[in-house]
A and B are shown apart, each in its own frame.
Chain A
Amino acid sequence: MNSLILRTVVPLLVSIMLVFSIFVLLRGHSLPGGGFIGGLIAASSLALYMIASGSQAVRKALVLHPMSIGGLGLLFAVFSGVPSYFSDVPYLTGLWYEPEFFHISLIATPVLFDLGVYLVVVGSITAIALALEEWH
């Protein structure tokens, strides 16, 4: 879409939305929020960017192929269950490690899992959006 106003505003909006999506992702550790909803916010910001500046700009900004991002996320999610093997508990058991930040332990398998979900959602939704945009 060729609109000067949109192209001026969108970079600002996209950066705010991306920061907000990470905030929602981390907030989901103990309050409403989480990887899925954060990923959707990030994906919609990328879709907005795509509407303003075209699909090539989004691909350039992402560096990695969207499916690779999704794959990385799935890999994180699968691997978040592996530490439980060394702690002798069943697969995917939540484990928290020291040190804590602001009384919340951020080095934890649920955080890794949530990050994985976030990346899967960002990757797959962006891939679909790009495919629909570029498809004639």
Chain B
Amino acid sequence: MTLTDWTVVLPVALALGGTALCAVFWWRPVIQSAIGIVITLLMLVSAGVLVCTVATEGPQTMAMSGWPGPFGIVFAVDLLGAGLAFVTALVGLLILIYNFGDQSSDYRRVGYTPLLLAMLAGVSGAFLTGDIFNLYVWFEVLIIGSFGLLILGGKKAQLDGAIKYATLNLLATTFFLIATGLLYGLTGTLNMADLASKVAAVDNRALVNVVAALYLLAFGMKAAAFPLFFWLPASYHTPKPGVSAVFAGLLTKVGVYALYRVFTLIFPASDTIFADLLIWIAGATILAGGLGAIAQTDIRRLVAFTVVGGIGYMLVGLALQSPLALTGGLFYIFHSMLISTALFLAVGIAGRLGGSYDIAKLGGLYRARPAFAMMFLVVLFAVAGVPPFSGFWPKVVLVQASLAADAPWLAGVILVGGFLTLVAVARAFAAAFWDNGEEEPPRATHYGDRVGALMLPTLVIIGLSVLMGLAAEPVVQLAGQAAAGLSDPSAYIEAVLGGSE
């Protein structure tokens, strides 16, 4: 048990410890911010070590309290989980830096940093655990953190959005719990690696399908997949950008991760009746996101719909199940986690400069702030998947995979979805930056004193996106390695149950 072995639990333990420390200093927002930045840095380092270990030595596990799987709660990490935990820590760090730069007091409030860290603990825990009931508990931890963040500030629209968000997310986790209860009754185990073989041996296939359908419903709701996505554009735009950005970057991806985990390991989609259904859901989600984005006049709701569209591409990878498709889907998850965060941050800065989020009222930002306008344009291009940014390659891989799977219409949907997103963001850019508006008086276009901290997160993400786009080969290889671990989970199962045989 060296420190390297401990990196399996360190991201979660650090985030929980950070939450605790921030709560101890409850009335000291400045100390809390400092704690937050130190903790997320440590999380980033430990998750980075974890990624390196998993990439070279295969899946890592740690049995909590020394109770070995399948009896105790096991943390089991493959390349997918480790990579996602790494990006989670990165997003957390960048958000805290942005928060430091944004001096519009509202979310320098007491409570922001501890709630954010609690949410990061929940998200990392969900990515790292190997036990399905434990996954449920981490889901609840992250939604409690997100509820708190969502209503911070207490504006009318926030309370309204929070009610819809809270109701539907609670419903989703309750479905998750029902499915888990049924699954336990069927198999007598909750360890995901153990479930893989136990579920395959169950005779009552009808009940297995019911359980799988419940998981699809629960995680689909969390992931904002069609037709269960309406809560997302109803709530994500209501809080401050520093909160929206971390929601868009992390929360829906936890749902997608859970779908990937459950429908490759426990119910391989090819064994169930859900493979076709997933393809339809994926296609419909892409189109719903694209069409929804075009129809919006509030720039925050517009980008919320692009987040929905992004979920569709990830689901395409899962639905097709071929190693190539999974590679594309995983690459897209990593791309989308970073870019959605950057997008909401950039929108936040635009709203600060323009004094509104209505694209009709924003007009003329290009004249006032040309450098920022260029940065915004770059982020929008990255979202739409224009080369050389990172969104381009996963789409290419997914189109290739759809053609290989004999589903040319799906390839068409992917291309049309990309086109719709491009139209939506181009329209937003033209209206918000180029139009001169209606001869309005000059607006308050101050960044505040800490421009560096305000801009740094978005610039870092743009840099990473260009890097991932130009040097796509190693990323595709890593995603391919993670995808191989999903299509053939024997190494994962061996790592979890190997000791107890």
Contacts and interface: CB of A to CB of B under 8 A. Distances in A.
Complex: A in contact with B (CB within 8 Å):
yes
Contact of A67 (B6, B26, B64): B26
Contacts of A89: 1, 66
- Majority-rule SS of B interface residues: helix
Contacts of A72: 20, 23-24
Contact of A94 (B9, B21, B26, B65): B65
Interface in A47-76: 65, 67-68, 70-75
A91 interface: yes
Interface residues of B, number: 21
Given A75-B17, A78-B16, A67 B1 contact: no
A91 B16 contact: no
Interface residues of A, number: 23
B490 to A, nearest CB: 23
A85 interface: yes
Interface of B: 1, 6, 9, 13, 16-17, 19-27, 62-66, 114
Contacts of B64: 90-92
Nearest to A66: B26
Contact of B1 (A74, A85, A92, A123): A85
Which residue, A71, A72, A88, has most C-beta atoms of chain B within 10 A?
A71
B13 A65 contact: no
A90 B23 contact: no
Contact of B23 (A71, A92, A93, A94): A71
- Majority-rule SS of A interface residues: helix
A73 B24 CA distance: 9
B21 A91 contact: no
Interface in A93-109: 93-94
A75 B65 contact: no
A77 B16 CA distance: 9
A118 to B, nearest CB: 14
A81 interface: yes
Contact of B65 (A77, A88, A92): A92
Contact of A68 (B1, B17, B26): B26
B63 A90 contact: yes
Contacts of B23: 67-68, 70-72, 74, 123
Given A78-B13, A78-B20, A85-B6, A71 B65 contact: no
Contacts of B1: 85, 88-90
A81 B65 CA distance: 9
Interface of A: 65, 67-68, 70-75, 77-79, 81, 84-85, 88-94, 123
Contact of A75 (B20, B26, B63): B20
Which residue, B21, B26, B64, has most C-beta atoms of chain A within 10 A?
B26
A84 B67 CA distance: 13
Contacts of A78: 13, 16-17, 20
5 contacts: A74-B16, A88-B1, A91-B13, A91-B62, A92-B64
| 6 closest residue pairs by CB, A with B | A71-B23, A74-B20, A75-B20, A71-B24, A67-B26, A93-B66
Nearest to A92: B65
B26 A90 contact: no
B65 A65 contact: no
A88 B17 CA distance: 21
B13 A81 contact: yes
A73 B63 CA distance: 24
Nearest to B73: A92
A68 B25 contact: yes
Contact of A93 (B22, B26, B65, B114): B65
Contacts of A68: 23-26
B142 to A, nearest CB: 16
Contact of B66 (A65, A70, A85, A90): A90
Given A72-B20, A75-B17, 12 more contacts: A65-B27, A68-B26, A71-B20, A71-B23, A73-B20, A74-B17, A74-B23, A75-B21, A78-B16, A84-B66, A89-B66, A91-B9
Contacts of B24: 68, 71-72, 75
Nearest to B15: A78
A20 B24 CA distance: 26
B270 to A, nearest CB: 35
Contacts of A85: 1, 6
Contacts of A74: 16-17, 19-20, 23
A73 B62 CA distance: 24
Nearest to B66: A93
A32 B27 CA distance: 37
Nearest to A89: B66
